[in-house]
Structure 1
């Protein structure tokens, strides 16, 4: 009887020990494996993910950035993306263009928190702005005077400077490309006079951008200078698909030539 009782106590002790070892092993496993899980590790929340290898492009501006006039809806931004992908680049694209945007609107848009966040993460910033400032929906044709143009031009340059300043406040490294204006009214009665105005407008914008070595003015005037209607949509203002493709090629070539680096 005594030995039986001893064996019972010994068996119970062994079982208890085994259960304790099993519990210890489970706890150690949970610590070693579980601590590496992103959901459980505090370090995963404290440290951002590793930077992506993708070239991040943010597009700002008016209806040209939005792609108005292109039956595919891509505009120059979409065709830039296509051409970069064809060259082997891995990109991400955010298009923040707004139809009808003028330069004071863009300067205000730059103050928005989400816009600043997107620009802060960008490798490349694309912009079209100024066409609505100058042409005023065609109203400029009725008053092409030096005084009226100078007022529009000065206000635009002030807003453009504010836009560039705001970009650099959140991102000092991104390559910024501003596409210049073309003259959609070159075949109108005062078309030649307005062409001179557009060239002067572009010149002053390019001079302003030249103060920042990582900001590039991309001319488009010459693309539309001859046979303008071949590259315009039926509204005779926005580019058509072919016009956008030619604009995009210039931008894409510059980005590719820079190796996609800011």
Structure 2
């Protein structure tokens, strides 16, 4: 085989490897602990129903509310909408304001935007996830389970969660808010007991915050993933898959009570 042919083969292999590596990096960045690069208004997802006509849902938060990992694109919000459509003759519209990778300080900034406040004001129901990126910090929590550090970050998160709930209540004083609590995607790893204890502690703290506000419900999800966790996770082993989101959506929908005028 001539040196020229060998050189061409080497160049092709190198280029293929480089393209594969770039694709892998992009996939991980988009699907696994994606960092929010902006707090600007994201593209929203709504039904084609006119506003103020039917049941209106606003969704806030991070990639879990965005539905990352669900190949159908519905996420738990979509399953909530499906369940509510079965229980009402009115049209159901929703707007998804969530941003992948968002942490609580970024959500606070987003909630201060006038357009977001307007959308929340018109909502009959508000759905929200936040805290997973604050806690897991791009996977750093798995490498550093320092009690002191985690308690410090939990304290900060609690303070930020208070601010989030106050801002929501300022925009809309009546709509029930369903805050979806954390599950532990890592409970089958060697340090699963430790990470599970941390998640339960954060969930308890969040539920105590929610209890201080009118009609803000902390929705538990830890138990939905505690057994056979990998059956309900996407290939990134962090976000839920279709079945995982379906379980969350059904849990949230089961807690929503429609008033006589909404049926």
The TM-score normalised by the length of structure 1 is 0.78
Aligned to 1:8: none
Note the 1:146-185 alignment, pairs <5 A: 146-185=147-186
Note the 1:135-214 alignment, pairs <5 A: 135-214=136-215
In 2, Cα distance between equivalents of 1:260 and 1:91: 13
Note the 1:210-225 alignment, pairs <5 A: 210-225=211-226
Q: 63-72 or 147-156, which moves further after superposition?
A: 147-156
Aligned to 1:18: none
| 2:256 aligned counterpart, secondary structure | helix
Say if 1:57 and 1:126, in contact at 8 Å, map to a contact too: yes
Aligned to 1:44: none
| 2:217 aligned counterpart, secondary structure | strand
Say if 2:111 and 2:167, in contact at 8 Å, map to a contact too: yes
| 1:82 aligned counterpart, secondary structure | helix
- Give the number of aligned pairs: 211
Aligned to 2:120: 119
Aligned to 1:228: 229
In 2, Cα distance between equivalents of 1:65 and 1:129: 9
Residue 260 (structure 1) shift: 8.2
In 1, Cα distance between equivalents of 2:261 and 2:145: 41
RMSD of Structure 2 on Structure 1 (CA): 1.5
Say if 1:84 and 1:256, in contact at 8 Å, map to a contact too: no
| 1:233 aligned counterpart, secondary structure | coil
Aligned to 1:69: 69
C-alpha distance 258-232 of structure 1, shift in aligned 2 (>3 A): farther
Say if 1:55 and 1:260, in contact at 8 Å, map to a contact too: no
C-alpha distance 98-259 of structure 1, shift in aligned 2 (>3 A): farther
Q: 163-172 or 86-95, which moves further after superposition?
A: 86-95
Residue 256 (structure 1) shift: 3.7
Greater Rg, structure 1 or structure 2?
1
Residue 52 (structure 1) shift: 3.3
In 1, Cα distance between equivalents of 2:145 and 2:110: 29
| 1:177 aligned counterpart, secondary structure | strand
In 1, Cα distance between equivalents of 2:230 and 2:159: 32
Aligned to 2:102: 101
1:84 aligns with 2:84: yes
Task: Give ranges in structure 1 of 5+ residues lacking alignment.
Answer: 1-50
Residue deviations 1:96-150, cap 9 Å, x none?
0110000000011000110011011111110000000001121101110111101
Say if 1:184 and 1:228, in contact at 8 Å, map to a contact too: yes
| 2:197 aligned counterpart, secondary structure | helix
In 2, Cα distance between equivalents of 1:257 and 1:149: 38
| 1:109 aligned counterpart, secondary structure | helix
Q: 173-182 or 149-158, which moves further after superposition?
A: 149-158
C-alpha distance 55-152 of structure 1, shift in aligned 2 (>3 A): same
